[in-house]
Structure 1
Amino acid sequence: MGAEVSSTSYSREQRQRYREKVHQDLDVFERMLTQSSFEFDRPLTGMEIELNLVDDKLDPTFTNAAVLDSIADPDYQTELGQYNIELNVDPRPLPGTAALDLEKDLRTSLNRANQRAEEAGAHIVAIGILPTLMPDHFSTEWMSANARYAALNEAIFAARGEDLWIDFEGPTGERLATYADSIAPESACTSVQLHLQVQPLEFADHWNAAQAISSIQLALGANSPFFFGRQLWHESRIELFLQATDTRSVELKNQGVRPRVWFGERWITSIFDLFEENVRYFPSLLPETSDEDPVALLEAGKAPELSELRLHNGTVYRWNRPIYDIVGGRPHLRVENRVLPAGPTIIDCMANSAFYYGVIKMLASSDRPVWTRMSFAAAEENFRQCAQRGIDSRVYWPGYGEVRADELTVRRLLPMAYEGLAEWGVASEVAERYLGVIEGRCRAGVNGATWQIEAVRRFEEKGQDRPTALHSMLERYLEGMHSNEPVHTWELP
């Protein structure tokens, strides 16, 4: 959800003070990287799953406050839209059979949460973009009651000075072109976020590796082909999130000003590169200042919160975000991977995470890293192509040239993932269970997006119009989601 804020508007003096504090925090952070002890007793992973709420007709229901009251579990929190909630998973180690325990715990938690949600008149859906969401659903109060969301909405539109223009076209020619007078379209983008705690000296290698592999994550895990009734990109979240939070006017885009949703523009040598870019390139959206004196705390041997720097970092939406945090008085660093959509099932989410953690382990420790043999522009183009075309995408990869993403996965990346999980100490039965799902997707050429698209096509062939077909598809999708069988094994209508 992000850090809380106390206001929805700020004075010029507050903005100036915030800038000064952010620069001070950045200077202190630079000192910490050279002289502080960061927590890294064992590698920990974490997960966040954003979810949608629908009513009995499978339309979005704007009742997350009542649903959360019914669930009564602090692991579940609000998200931007009143039809969204988020499940936060406690950090866990990777080795052994921890992933099997996590899968069981997630299913138990979500089953209980869904039962409680149904008591409040709602059903939980794990999907990248809710396909039954339509523009009319935002004609009434849609935003969760949280000052941070209201402040972000106000700040983005104050920076733009005009309504948002959402405009993109899918590979089949269907196009969405519409104005939005709030950041409501952003709420449609629900994801799974993967966290990996790393040592400061190894952060750059892990971030670079995450950037390089993010395109393949999209190709294999795409699950967001429909928005506002249109069939768009296989992972429409990527372009929708960029456009729905864009603080730039057309003129600023033409000047080359960077968007808040950002792939980046270069490989890095330190985590400091990313925080420094945030401060140099991006104006504040939520200029909340604390009373902390980070210099005094550091000189007293304590870890400062650096709340201004962290808050600012939370409003720059990198697909792989650097995280500085403090637990038990000790600082640590994480790579937050924000690429994947939610769903379709818990086993699919676990498979996506196992693939990511396995591959990133090997890429980050390679003697000849992939990012030394591939331009950053090529990685970004891979990312865009895989968002558009999903599992049918072609990518550039060193040693293979242009290759299908599923072929590259089977021939090169899956063996790497098995090796990486073994390096982490993950039990062989865990690797076989989850990486077997990835291989099955590649062999079948089916992921969440392709299943949704084909199901809707078949319903339309039977005479249903698009809205009806989307509801029919979502009904079948819910059956598959609750089965916890991998999406590539689901039957089509």
Structure 2
Amino acid sequence: MGDSIEARTFTRQDRTQFRAKTERCLDALAAMLADGRFAPVDAPDSQLGMEIELNLVDEQGAPARSNAAVLDAIASPAFQTELARFNVEVNVAPRPIGGGHLRELEDVLRGALDVADQRARSTGSGLAMIGMLPTLDETHFTERWFSADARYSVLGQQILAARGEDIELQIDGVPLSDGRPAERLSMVCDTILPEAACTSVQLHLQVAPDSFASYWNAAQAIAGPQVALAANSPFFAGTALWHETRIPMFEQATDIRPQELKNQGVRPRVWFGERWITSIFDLFEENSQYFSALLPVCSDEDPFAALDEGRAPELSELRMHNGTVYRWNRPIYDAGDGTAHLRLENRVLPGGPSVVDVMADAAFYYGLVRSMAEADRPIWTQMTFDAAAENLRAAAREGIDSRLYWPDAGWISARELVLRRLLPAAAEGLEAFGVDPEVRDRYLGIIAQRCVTGQNGAVWQREDVAARERSGASRTEALHGMLAGYLERMQAGEPVHTWTH
């Protein structure tokens, strides 16, 4: 969620000063882009980064309000707090993509999560890597469930103050099985904690400034297929909703717009965007122009003074503001050791189901985005931006059986699109990164089998709950039983396409 801040209120002067400082940061960024003041990025040394948000559950599978105790028990700087007390996050240090590094990361990640889970159990809690914890309900969204860091409660207060009214969650679901009616969520909440239900895997890629627009456009174009393959969030508050309910839930839970502003076409805080870009500057400029500050905390730095001294400025105000605009593919500016670099943060993927599934999704993304970004005829020159946005919506709603639009194919099933077109492209991209063939085949083979079997995390969860209900279980009993089976399989570590009921 970003840097910690002190609990405080903000004045009109704070906001005026913050806007001026953000504009000065933008000017400094423009100068840095024009002068080439960024660390070089060479393809053989391309770096990946990863953040995985996790849920905490008690022995009955209910959310556990225990992240402070769990983090004390884990005692690793890689694990940090998140928005709610039932969340933690693990951060993977940057490492090369090529060679056997992806396979090594799988082993490191699996080992770290196993140790963390074992230590968490000493507090009566366990780790759940899942897009949305199915045992959450409205009782878990009160103030007492906020993490202790003041940043989270202050951010929530600012969102609600900007909105001027409680948050309404309205989602029409997809029927759980043939012959059953669609279910509907209708909930009013006075905190932003439903956002904490949306746990994700965030993939980072360091990108050269001149290439950033191509990589961002490519990531936008493939967001729909990514979500269709990886959907793992079909339940919320006892209701069967979309295959990847994180997408509409996150949009609604952090929406600062009352209905009147929606009617006027004011842009949402969780935003896919509205156009292909030509420079990373476009994204930072849009963020500054379209969105008011939520956390107007100013630093003492003058970014141009830092540039005059020959070092990269922190651009604290720009980074703070950027962290409160929730693009599904987010631009990141970072500085350290006197140099600056740019990253593309991909935020569409849910957590889980298993570590090897997470790594397969990551390999597919890194390979495909590389291939699409560097193609002779870029994908974004062949499809409209609205088509890419609609693909994300359709994939989130219908999952792996959704139909998506793709150039030269028209409307095509997500499974056929991936098998026939996207997997070969992802393989080319991983080869360009220098990934070992056996590593490439391991992860893309898992993606292929997910398409062949038609089973991802959302499908397994939905079918398991439906089967339990046919056997006489109530929805609550079915969700708890399903989650127990899910956690057993998650810990066993086999890919989700092999899971049985």
Is the shorter-chain TM-score for this pair beyond 0.5, marking a shared fold? Answer: yes
AA aligned to 2:109 is L
Aligned residue number for residue 18 of structure 1 = 18
Q: CA deviation at 1:4?
A: 1.6
Aligned residue number for residue 117 of structure 1 = 120
Residue of structure 2 aligned with 1:301, choices 310, 315, 318:
310
Whole-angstrom CA distance in 1 between matches of 2:4 and 2:239: 34
Counterpart secondary structure, 2:145: coil
Whether the aligned pair in 1 keeps the contact of 2:142 and 2:193 (CA below 8 Å) is no
AA aligned to 1:458 is A
Aligned residue number for residue 130 of structure 1 = 133
Write out aligned runs for 1:200-279 (5 A).
Answer: 200-279=209-288
Aligned residue number for residue 455 of structure 1 = 464
AA aligned to 2:184 is R
Whether the aligned pair in 1 keeps the contact of 2:242 and 2:398 (CA below 8 Å) is yes
Residue of structure 1 aligned with 2:151, choices 136, 142, 148:
148
Aligned CA-pair RMSD: 0.8
Whole-angstrom CA distance in 2 between matches of 1:170 and 1:207: 30
Residue of structure 2 aligned with 1:162, choices 165, 172, 189:
165
Counterpart secondary structure, 2:187: strand
Whole-angstrom CA distance in 2 between matches of 1:251 and 1:400: 39
Aligned residue number for residue 97 of structure 1 = 100
Counterpart secondary structure, 2:449: helix
- After TM superposition, the runs of 4+ consecutive aligned structure 1 residues lying more than 6 A away are none
1:380-420 CA-to-partner distances (Å, cap 9, x unmatched) read 00110000000010011001011001100000000111111
Counterpart secondary structure, 1:96: coil
Q: CA deviation at 1:151?
A: 1.2
AA aligned to 1:234 is H
What's the % identity of the aligned pairs?
57
1:106-138 CA-to-partner distances (Å, cap 9, x unmatched) read 011000000000001101000000001111233
Whether the aligned pair in 2 keeps the contact of 1:294 and 1:304 (CA below 8 Å) is yes
Aligned residue number for residue 413 of structure 1 = 422
Whether 2:368 is the aligned partner of 1:365: answer no
Q: CA deviation at 1:301?
A: 1.6
Whole-angstrom CA distance in 2 between matches of 1:104 and 1:331: 30
AA aligned to 2:337 is G
Give the gaps of 5 or more residues in structure 2: 176-181
Whether the aligned pair in 2 keeps the contact of 1:9 and 1:154 (CA below 8 Å) is no
Counterpart secondary structure, 1:366: coil
Question: TM-score if structure 2 supplies the norm length?
Answer: 0.97
Whole-angstrom CA distance in 1 between matches of 2:98 and 2:191: 44
Q: CA deviation at 1:206?
A: 0.2
Aligned residue number for residue 37 of structure 2 = 37
Give the gaps of 5 or more residues in structure 1: none
Whole-angstrom CA distance in 1 between matches of 2:100 and 2:366: 14
Whole-angstrom CA distance in 2 between matches of 1:293 and 1:106: 39
Residue of structure 1 aligned with 2:349, choices 340, 346, 363:
340
Whether the aligned pair in 2 keeps the contact of 1:221 and 1:448 (CA below 8 Å) is yes
Whether 2:407 is the aligned partner of 1:398: answer yes
Whether the aligned pair in 1 keeps the contact of 2:30 and 2:281 (CA below 8 Å) is yes
Whether the aligned pair in 2 keeps the contact of 1:8 and 1:148 (CA below 8 Å) is no
Residue of structure 2 aligned with 1:55, choices 33, 58, 64:
58
Whole-angstrom CA distance in 1 between matches of 2:469 and 2:60: 19
AA aligned to 1:36 is G
Whether the aligned pair in 2 keeps the contact of 1:392 and 1:406 (CA below 8 Å) is yes
Whole-angstrom CA distance in 1 between matches of 2:280 and 2:435: 27
Counterpart secondary structure, 2:278: coil
Whole-angstrom CA distance in 2 between matches of 1:292 and 1:401: 51
Whether the aligned pair in 2 keeps the contact of 1:8 and 1:154 (CA below 8 Å) is no
Write out aligned runs for 1:367-446 (5 A).
Answer: 367-446=376-455
AA aligned to 1:5 is I
AA aligned to 1:54 is V
Whole-angstrom CA distance in 1 between matches of 2:469 and 2:310: 65
Whether 2:295 is the aligned partner of 1:286: answer yes
* CA 140–246 in structure 1, closer or farther in 2 if over 3 Å, else same: closer
Q: CA deviation at 1:150?
A: 1.2
Residue of structure 2 aligned with 1:76, choices 62, 76, 79:
79
Q: CA deviation at 1:140?
A: 6.3
Counterpart secondary structure, 1:334: strand
Whole-angstrom CA distance in 1 between matches of 2:367 and 2:413: 20
Q: CA deviation at 1:37?
A: 2.7
Q: CA deviation at 1:352?
A: 0.1
For this pair of structures, how many residues does the alignment match? 492
Counterpart secondary structure, 2:494: coil
